Amino acid sequence: MDRRRFIVLAGAEILLPVFQWRLNPGPWIAYQEDGRQVSTALVDEIEQLMATRRRMDDEHGGGALLSALNADLRFITDLLKNGSYQNETGRRLYATAAEAARLAGWAAAESGRYAAAQSYYLAALRATSAVGDRALGVNVVGFMGTLSYATGRLDDATKLMDLAAAESAKTPEAVQAMTWARLGRAYAKVADQNTARAALNRASELLGRAVVGDAPPWAYWVDETRISAQLGRALYDMGDYLGAERELTAAVASCGERYPRDRATWLGRVATAQLRRGRLDESCMTARRVVDLLADQVDTSRGSGLLRTFSGELAARGPSAVGREFAEYATARLA
């Protein structure tokens, strides 16, 4: 067992770096004269590589990408330490370092390596200060908050999301929308339904005001489907299983064949929501769709965890023909 996943910072240890970023968001002077020249063409290629890595994560899940992202980050860091570049090139390099570290953190979290994820996120936050990119920093803090509630540190999660929401006022509306949606999910986790619903309503309003082309390239996925999915997951956490099923089913349908990892995690919640409402046959049919996605398309510890939750609750209901058939199907497909 990898014990590193359990050594996770909490409380002031994780909040202090965020306060430091908030007080000193940059940009820094980012030029360096000694070393081999870093060309703008090379930085163009690295930026394109990060765009490709994001799409690879969308389609295959982050777990399998972690080693590649770690290598990407080492390469970019070596250029920053040992290359020669002007200020604009340096800032672009720091921005790619921040995005590589953010993606690596997400991939580590997808693999259950939570302490590693946190370390990557902190590195990403430091790199955003060199660029002075507030939107990128807000996104990183949002991922830190997501990691906090995924590991049960709900007080840290709400504080981090509150900070991200406050700072997002200086970012494009699409970034603000996702930040407020994450805030809503964090408050749903602590059963503060009024704050959660107000934040989610705010997210929808902000998305409606978003200007096409105004969002940063990494925010391409922020749309009505994502806000619906955030609402559905929040409703699930608050015990509104009918509402959760409605929103998450709609989000899955909107994706078509894209985003298999997201569809797996959304359908995992739909299956459990159906089961908790006593709809045994439907829940097992939905869970089969999750099994198929995990077996054929995507590597995600979150999806696997949701499927384990469903299977445990299904077994707790006692023996049934449909339950036995599902268990046999899942065992065969995921062996």
CA distance 95 to 310: 40
Strands (E), the chain: 36-37, 83-84
- Between these two residues, 326 and 211, which has the higher pLDDT value? 326
- Whether residue 85 is predicted with pLDDT greater than 90 in this model: the reply is no
Short-list 97, 105, 58, CA closest to 77 = 97
**What DSSP assignment string belongs to 260-276?**
HHHHHHHHHHHHHHHHH
**What DSSP assignment string belongs to 148-193?**
HHHTT-HHHHHHHHHHHHHHGGGS-HHHHHHHHHHHHHHHHHTT-H
Q: pLDDT tens-digit profile of 120-158?
A: 999 999 999 888 899 999 999 999 999 999 999 999 999
Percentage of residues in the chain having pLDDT higher than 90? 77
Tokens, residue 222: 């922020």
- Whether residue 159 is predicted with pLDDT greater than 60 in this model: the reply is yes
Q: pLDDT tens-digit profile of 265-280?
A: 999 999 999 999 999 9
Tokens, residue 166: 């406050």
* Contact predicate 275/312, CB 8 Å: no
What confidence score (pLDDT) does residue 6 get? 46
Across 234-255, average pLDDT: 97
* Contact predicate 62/106, CB 8 Å: yes
What confidence score (pLDDT) does residue 29 get? 61
What confidence score (pLDDT) does residue 245 get? 98
Across 197-207, average pLDDT: 96
CA distance 276 to 266: 16
State CA 301 to chain mean position distance. 13
What confidence score (pLDDT) does residue 254 get? 96
Give the predicted TM-score (pTM) of the model.
0.89
Domains of the chain: which residue ranges? 259-335
Amino acid present at 284: C
Residue 21: band (very low, low, confident or very high) from pLDDT cuts 50, 70, 90 = confident
- Whether residue 335 is predicted with pLDDT greater than 50 in this model: the reply is yes
Short-list 238, 287, 293, 224, CA closest to 262 = 293
Tokens, residue 168: 């997002």
